[in-house]
Amino acid sequence: MSLLHPNKPVIELGVNIDHVATLRNARGTSYPDPIQAALLAEEAGADCITLHLREDRRHIRDADVEALLPQLRTRMNLESAITSEMIDFALRLRPQDVCLVPERREEITTEGGLDVIAHFSQVKDAVHRLQLAGVRVSLFIDPDAAQVKAAAEAGAPVIEIHTGRYAEARTDEEAQRELDRVQAAVLAGVGYGLKVNAGHGLHYTNVQPIAAIPEIAELNIGHAIVAQAVFIGWKNAVKEMKAIMTAARLGIHKK
């Protein structure tokens, strides 16, 4: 278990603000403002702000990223496809973190992890260019030992384990099987000396077994926080998620 450190959270929360932008874009208004959401999330305890600049700009837009980066007090984790357009954008802005994710335009949400093995040279080149520019690179991968190995070989210092299949499990047995896969991938990543994060589809109940995995450094969570904010307010939703994650890491399970 992580030792309690006066200034370091036992597990970090990256708040993904994509779906604040979804709500804004639904009517083409200027509100709700994703930048305001990010700054309030930091006030509420977010350790970083994650945002996914998709190729189709369905939610976060270039101007959001450009306006937010200089205002953040914590750090920006920009999720990006490995296309030259997106890598060039990331190199121009140079956020603290970039997480390379797969993208298919027709997908409703990110369906699977980046296939590092199949796109090894392209991934390795993107990792090299971004790391050279001082950007810390994370690879968003499925909980698969071969992908973890490929990520380490591609030179990425960080991986984020895709928890989508765990989150979408329909039975307790399936959820446990997927949780075991996540845990094995986390340990494999630590074995290669990587920082290991996780995310996708996590909410206030299913987050607890994931947060309890002591080797996970950070969870990136968005959709569930935006949904909860509808009922209890944005800052409260962020605070509640952080509290549940921290309690789970300390062995306290909340109903």
Ligand X SMILES: NCC(=O)COP(=O)(O)O
Active site residues: 52, 79, 200
Q: Coil, helix or strand for 160?
A: strand
Q: Between 52 and 165, name the residue whose CB sits nearer to ligand DXP.
A: 52
Distance separating alpha carbons of residues 13 and 142, to the nearest angstrom: 20
Q: Pick one of 24, 195, 200, 249: the residue that binds ligand DXP (CB under 6 A).
A: 200
Rule CB under 6 A: is residue 228 a binding residue for ligand DXP? no
Residues 141-200 touching ligand X, rule: CB under 6 A, are: 160, 199-200
Length of the chain: 255
CB of 108 to ligand DXP, least distance (A): 7
- Name the residue type at position 179: L
Q: Between 113 and 154, name the residue whose CB sits nearer to ligand X.
A: 113
Distance separating alpha carbons of residues 88 and 86, to the nearest angstrom: 5
Rule CB under 6 A: is residue 236 a binding residue for ligand DXP? no
Q: Between 144 and 160, name the residue whose CB sits nearer to ligand X.
A: 160
Residues 82-141 touching ligand DXP, rule: CB under 6 A, are: 101, 109-110, 140
- Give the list of residues 6+ apart from residue 137 with CB closer than 8 angstroms, or none: 97, 98, 99, 100, 126, 127, 130, 131, 155, 156, 157, 158
Rule CB under 6 A: is residue 221 a binding residue for ligand X? yes
Q: Which two tokens stand for residue 228?
A: 């909860």
